[in-house]
Amino acid sequence: MIDDFDLLPRDEPFDPFSVVLFKALQVLAFLFFVALLIVAPEAKEGKVDSKAEFLISVDWPDNHPDDIDTFVQDPIGNVVWFRRREAGFMVLDRDDRGGLNDFVLVNGQKVLTATREELVSLRGVVAGEYTVNVYHFTALTSQAVPVTVTVQKLNPVVKIVAKETIQLDQGGTERTAVRFTLDAAGAVTETSHVERSILQTFHSTWRNGAP
């Protein structure tokens, strides 16, 4: 009598094919999950996959109109700067001219950017001492410009080798930000801030008749 009012649940007809199909789908989903775990690369905090071994960044205040230039000399005398953007294993990846060239093209239109930064990458290792200098090429203001130079070792993990903020007081000022020494394996063995002019090296070369 109770069944006449549908007050008790009714058993559904048993379908073996549906059960087998459901179990097969469960197995496939499990196998797919296991495959993802195997294929996915292991996450390593601080890991950087880069062709560069070191990155040197030179930063000064956003929207600043002055032009700050970077000079980097390697142990065998190669110098990378705005007139020679590749020298040895060194590459000037970004030459920032202050307010003159800080823009990006968006749909064919120039959009100004605030960032003031030059970047030099070291794509290989030469054992010996590297010198990183900054030069106040164009001074449009009457105030000193704080310039921060950061040297980072990229592989196998990112590590800051040196970070220094110096004041460039006037146009034509050259300062040594950092000097660092590498061994044959690319490990940093020493750093210093002893001043050494790279421009004077150029002047000596020109006086001796070299191009």
HEC string for 159-197: EEEEEEEEEECCCCCEEEEEEEEECCCCCEEEEECCCCC
The reply to whether 59 and 28 lie within a common domain is no
The reply to whether 17 and 93 lie within a common domain is no
The reply to whether 26 and 71 lie within a common domain is no
**Backbone φ and ψ of 202, nearest 5°:** -60, -45
The reply to whether 122 and 171 lie within a common domain is yes
The reply to whether 119 and 25 lie within a common domain is no
The verdict on residue 119 lying in a domain is yes
The reply to whether 134 and 186 lie within a common domain is yes
How many CB atoms neighbour CB 202 within 10 A?
14
Residue 32 tokens read as 């797919």
Instruction: Please tell me the predicted confidence (pLDDT) of residue 182.
Output: 98
The reply to whether 29 and 82 lie within a common domain is no
Instruction: Return the residue matching tokens 């790279």.
Output: 198
The verdict on residue 48 lying in a domain is no
The reply to whether 6 and 94 lie within a common domain is no
Containing structural domain, residue 78: 54-207
Which domain CATH number covers 105? Answer: 2.60.60
Positions in the chain whose pLDDT score sits under 70? 1-50, 99-105, 203-211
The verdict on residue 46 lying in a domain is no
CA-based radius of gyration for the chain: 30
Residue 135 tokens read as 């030069």
Question: Residue 41 in contact with residue 169, Cβ under 8 Å?
Answer: no
The verdict on residue 49 lying in a domain is no
Number of structural domains (the chain) is 2
Task: Give ∠ CA 188-192-194 in degrees, rounded to 5.
Answer: 150
Instruction: Please tell me the predicted confidence (pLDDT) of residue 9.
Output: 47
pTM assigned to the model: 0.71
Instruction: Please tell me the predicted confidence (pLDDT) of residue 35.
Output: 60
Fill in the amino acid letter for 137: F
DSSP-derived letter for residue 48 is: -
The verdict on residue 44 lying in a domain is no
The reply to whether 88 and 178 lie within a common domain is yes
**Cis bond before residue 65 (omega within 30° of 0):** no
Q: Kindly give, in sequence order, each residue whose CB lies less than 8 Å from that of residue 82, ignoring residues fewer than 6 positions away.
A: 69, 92, 95
Instruction: Please tell me the predicted confidence (pLDDT) of residue 144.
Output: 93
Instruction: Please tell me the predicted confidence (pLDDT) of residue 98.
Output: 80
The reply to whether 8 and 69 lie within a common domain is no
The reply to whether 169 and 192 lie within a common domain is yes
The reply to whether 86 and 14 lie within a common domain is no
The verdict on residue 113 lying in a domain is yes
The three-state secondary structure class of 143 is coil
